[in-house]
Amino acid sequence: MDTAPDQPPKRGVRVGGDPARSSGPPVPRARAGHIFLRACRGEPTESTPVWLMRQAGRYLPEYRAVRERLSLLDLCKTPEAAAEVTVLAVDRLGVDAAIIFADILLPAEPLGVGLEFVEGEGPVIRRPVRGPADVDRLPVVDPLARVPFVFEAVRLARQALAGRVPLIGFAGGPFTVASYLIEGHASQDFLQTKAFMHREPAAWRALMEKLAALTIAYLNGQIAAGADAVQLFDSWIGCLAPEDYRRGVLPHVRRVIAGLAPGVPVIHFGTGTAGLLELMREAGGTVIGLDWRVDLGQAWRRLGAGVGVQGNLDPALLLADPAGIRQGVRAVLQSAAGRPGHIFNLGHGVLPATPWAHAKAMVEMVHEESRR
C-alpha cells in the first residue's frame, strides 16, 4: 500500500466548458456496457465495480485545497469547482463511478427555511418546520430555475469524464430531508421528526408530498444533464419502526422512484435499515444500498431476486493496516459470493480521517480479489 504523505498527483484535473453554456455538441455518456451499469442491471461483470460514498471529501488533499478558498456552499454553487472535485476523486482512486459533488439539502434552500452550513456543526435550519402552518408556507420550487448550478456541475463533470466512468446524480430521500427541516440540524434521535409524524399526520403527508415532487424534478434534472444513474440517500430512515416507515414514508419514496426517467438505475440507500430491507425493496430501486451493520449475503437473500445490492464495508476499516483492509474486502466479496448485481462500496461515507492511500488501496484490492 502507498503510505506516502498526502501530496497531490502531478497530473491535475481539468474541467472544460463554459459554465454559462448548457448546450453544444453532445458529450458521450458512459458506455452501457461499463461494469458499473452492468452490475446495476444484474448482469455478470469481469470484476466487482467499486465506488465510495463521499469519495470527493475532506480526506483528499486536493479537496482540502479547494475548501481553503471556498466554503461548502460556495463550492456547491460553483459548477467548475464542483465538477473538478467530482472528477479528481475518479483520477485519484481509480473507482468505477463518479458521484456529483453536492449536498442533499441544496434543493431545500429555496424553500425559505434559512439553510446555513456552519463550520464544525453542519447544516442548520434557522426557520424549522414545526407545525401545519410552516408546511403550508413552503413554496413549490422548480429546481431547474432555483439550483441551476447543480445541473451545470453535472454537465461539466460529464464533459470532463468523457465517458470513462458513469456519473451518479443524487438527492436526499423525503424522510431524511424532512428530518433536517423539522429538527433544524443533524439529530441522533429524531424525536421532533417522529413526534411531528404522529401528532400532525395530515401536515406530515403534505410535507412529504412536497418533498417527493421536489426530489423527482431535481433527480430528473440531473439525469437530463448527463447523470447515468442516481442514488436516493434516505440516510436516516433507520430510526423508524417498520410500521411507521410503511405508513409514513414508503408511499412517498415509491412515488419518487416511479417518477424518475425510465431505464436509469436507481440506488436506494439508508443506514440502520436491517429491519426495513423488505420495505425498502417494496418502495423500489434497481439496487439497494446496505450499511455495514448487516451481513451482505443474508440481506440479499431477504431482498430476493431481481435487485442488486451495494456495500458494505465498515468505513472505519479504512483506518486499519493493509492486511486488515484486505481481510474486510474479502469478507464482503465472499458474502456476495460472486453473484451478479453487486456494487462494492462502504456502508456509509468515507471518514474524514481516512488516509487517501488506504481508500485507493481498497479500490485496487476489490478489483484484484473479485477478478473473474
- Residues labelled as active-site residues: 54, 58, 67, 103, 180
82/252 Cα distance (integer angstroms)? 29
281 exposure class (CB count in 10 Å sphere: 0-12, 13-18, 19+): middle
125/112 Cα distance (integer angstroms)? 10
> Do 303 and 277 meet the contact criterion of CB atoms below 8 Å apart?
yes
241/15 Cα distance (integer angstroms)? 45
Q: Which amino acid is at 167?
A: L
223/228 Cα distance (integer angstroms)? 7
> Do 105 and 111 meet the contact criterion of CB atoms below 8 Å apart?
no
Closest CA to 148 of 80, 230, 83, 221: 221
Provide the 8-state DSSP code for 139.
Answer: P
279/264 Cα distance (integer angstroms)? 21
